[in-house]
Structure 1
Amino acid sequence: MTNEELCQSISNVINGYRNKEFGEYDAKHVRRWISQFEDFEKQIVLEETNRILKKNFISYNLFLEFIDTLIQSPDIYVENKDSYWNRVSLLDIQANGNSQKELNTILQDKLNLLYGVPNMIAQQSEEYIYLDDFIFSGNRLTSDMESWIRNDAPLKARVCVITIGWYVYGQYKTEKRLKAFAKSLGKDINFVFDSFSKYRLENRLYRKDYSTVFWPTSIIKELPEAIAFLQGQNCDFPYRAPVGVENPVFSRSRREEYEKIMLKYGLKILSFSVQNSSVVKPLGYDIYSGLGFGSTVFSFRNCPNNNPLAFWWGDPTALPFHPFSKWYPLMQRKTYG
């Protein structure tokens, strides 16, 4: 496709983002975003961005499909579906964001229609559901759940943590921590994690060469600013090695250069401010040393801050002297507040 066709294709995916709160995300908007890259970089960035958006953009229709699949899943209700959905309680404990409230409302409305249960949120039960869209690092989920386990959970319960998808290491770490935390408080809680299998994305260190996150190869040594950034963290970065197999998210032919370009502009964005938090990294927020989380998941609700900065950082309405004015985002983030 030509660059113009790619801009239109990207717009077709993101045009309903946040119900157009930040304006019309049409082809003109995408052209404005890509204009910040050098001419020789534009084709690769557009091609690969178009690819990953089509694979990993969580649309509202996917939310609805997710809810329908959840209701019919024997992994959740186990044996007696009617009995389960008449006694389960939906947890409403998310400290930040609205994804849980939105999903709970969709599920509650659907179950009220099917089973006539008017209110399932925050009820006393031995069966609970923690519903959210995606697990990235799992830190927010863990914080929410630990507070509930400590203060409100019964001594014995079954908790289904259900998301559209997850990053494998985030899910593994979260499940391990929650089980240990509940046990330390003397509570017998059986945690069940479930999601769409195709949205279980790889980000474990020992599987880095097959990862589905932005995980650069040693090609980034061509960027002095990248080496300086890693040295500033005393980080011995484990570079990804290219493998000759198809990746579920990235293309084999463009991935290396694409990661390098997005890292280059993430580092440029970081240079706009001298007051960046230590978790702000060029390839996305991350508590660990390195280049950033590198998520490739997007949502119509909000662009995760675990994604590379070049996708979401900036605010076109910021005053000219503000760092946010120096980059035009493809999908501007709505911050918590």
Structure 2
Amino acid sequence: MNERTALLASIAETIKDYRSGELPPPTPEHVDRWIQQFDREVQLQMLREMDYVLKQTYFSLANVTNFLRDLVRTEKLVGQDPCAFWRTVNFLDIQQGGNSQTEMLELFDKVLQEQCGFRVTECGVESAVYLYLDDGLFTGNRVRRDLEAWIATDSPAAASLHVVTIALHSGGQHYANGRIRNALTATRKECAITWWRAIELEDRKAYSDTADVLRPTSIPDDAAVQDYVRGMRHPPTLRRPGNVGGKSLFSSDAGKQLLEQEFLKAGARIRGLCQNLGDTQRPLGHMTLETLGFGSLIVTFRNCPNNAPLALWVGDPWYPLFRRTTNSQTAIKHLFEDLTRDAGDER
């Protein structure tokens, strides 16, 4: 087996449960079809780096389940009697877009039954302890919008809130925390907020040199990228080379620079190919602020965030490594399930 064949197989094995039951299992042929869209001279190097990175950034169902099992028993959170603590918790299911919170709660429900013998729906009677669970915090907009709405309507005058995510990006957490605090002040409510995560990643602009996300060191000599940068109102933030980031997600700075350059070039090209992408779908991933893109490489068994480089998830005519489920697709799916269920009830 040559190196390329081995790498294709290794990557397919790492991501083998991606959207299991919805998509065909990833195969070496699937990975190969994706990588062949890049220049031939960089394909083997990219496969090496992606094989390394995905082993750090891909969260399988087993990874997520183990994190939740550990969370149930985390003494700093639950004290000496974990099951007694969980009996007091109100589990929020308030997400305004997508289905990640509901699905994560379903998974936590199984873990709670396994560890304590009762379900999420049996918890939280006459308690002011709340938990917001999701798979990832990126820009922070989703969690802050959900919690702003909850604070304005249903939250009590005083509460204790635990926000739990698999991946947390520090810039997004800082932004979301500030907006949530403003909402509490506006409503004159009190809420002690604690943040919990499996991994925390540095993405703040002031710490770009040590970021755990993709922040290019230079703008490549590529026509599509040059055109994109010329259209920006302000020069993009670049990092100084020499650091792989605090979480060591990359094999080396050279490996990180390779992905930054190639994903930036591919993302700029994809924006020209896929006319349905909005302005905020930037080459390195969704970002409301005008940048080169968010640049996260976190992917879970459930889905790939749109904050990841476009080259990982955009489809038609580009071939994605991780085909995404969008919020609108999720809504349509559940509408169809509801209609089918209703039709069955009528029969």
Shared fold (TM-score, shorter chain, > 0.5)? yes
* AA in 2 matched with 1:233: M
| 2:327 is the alignment partner of 1:336 | yes
| 2:167 is the alignment partner of 1:168 | no
Q: How far is 1:79 from its partner? A: 6.0
Cα deviation code 1:47-87 (max 9, x no counterpart): 11111111110110111111111111133224653432212
Cα deviation code 1:205-238 (max 9, x no counterpart): 11111111111011x2422322321221212112
Are the aligned partners of 1:44 and 1:258 in contact in 2 as well (CA < 8 Å)? no
Matches of 1:174 and 1:293, distance apart in 2:
16
Matches of 1:275 and 1:88, distance apart in 2:
42
Matches of 2:109 and 2:25, distance apart in 1:
31
SS of corresponding position for 1:43: helix
* TM-score (structure 1 length as normaliser): 0.90
Are the aligned partners of 2:209 and 2:243 in contact in 1 as well (CA < 8 Å)? no
The aligned residue for residue 318 of structure 1 is: none
Q: How far is 1:283 from its partner? A: 0.5
Are the aligned partners of 1:135 and 1:166 in contact in 2 as well (CA < 8 Å)? yes
Are the aligned partners of 2:133 and 2:163 in contact in 1 as well (CA < 8 Å)? yes
Matches of 1:137 and 1:32, distance apart in 2:
31
Change in CA separation of 1:181 and 1:15 when aligned onto 2, cut-off 3 Å: same
Change in CA separation of 1:112 and 1:254 when aligned onto 2, cut-off 3 Å: closer
SS of corresponding position for 1:159: strand
The aligned residue for residue 104 of structure 1 is: 105
Matches of 1:113 and 1:137, distance apart in 2:
33
SS of corresponding position for 2:273: coil
Matches of 2:11 and 2:18, distance apart in 1:
12
Which is further off, 128-137 or 239-248?
239-248
Percent identity between matched residues is 32
Change in CA separation of 1:135 and 1:246 when aligned onto 2, cut-off 3 Å: closer
Within 5 A, what are the aligned runs for 1:152-167?
Answer: 152-167=154-169
Change in CA separation of 1:114 and 1:260 when aligned onto 2, cut-off 3 Å: closer
Matches of 1:275 and 1:312, distance apart in 2:
14
The aligned residue for residue 283 of structure 1 is: 284
Q: How far is 1:302 from its partner? A: 0.5
| 2:90 is the alignment partner of 1:89 | yes
Q: Give the root-mean-square deviation of aligned CA atoms.
A: 1.9
SS of corresponding position for 2:242: coil
- Which structure 1 residue ranges, 5 or more long, are not aligned? 315-323
Which is further off, 120-129 or 23-32?
120-129
Change in CA separation of 1:104 and 1:275 when aligned onto 2, cut-off 3 Å: closer
Are the aligned partners of 1:91 and 1:121 in contact in 2 as well (CA < 8 Å)? no
The aligned residue for residue 268 of structure 1 is: 269
Are the aligned partners of 1:130 and 1:161 in contact in 2 as well (CA < 8 Å)? yes
| 2:204 is the alignment partner of 1:204 | yes
Are the aligned partners of 1:215 and 1:239 in contact in 2 as well (CA < 8 Å)? yes
Matches of 1:258 and 1:117, distance apart in 2:
45
Change in CA separation of 1:113 and 1:15 when aligned onto 2, cut-off 3 Å: closer
The aligned residue for residue 304 of structure 2 is: 303
Within 5 A, what are the aligned runs for 1:1-337?
Answer: 2-78=3-79, 81-118=82-119, 119-120=121-122, 125-196=127-198, 199-218=199-218, 220-243=219-242, 248-250=248-250, 251-314=252-315, 324=316, 326-337=317-328
Are the aligned partners of 1:129 and 1:160 in contact in 2 as well (CA < 8 Å)? yes
Matches of 1:17 and 1:124, distance apart in 2:
39
* AA in 2 matched with 1:204: R
**Aligned positions, number:** 324
Matches of 1:225 and 1:272, distance apart in 2:
11
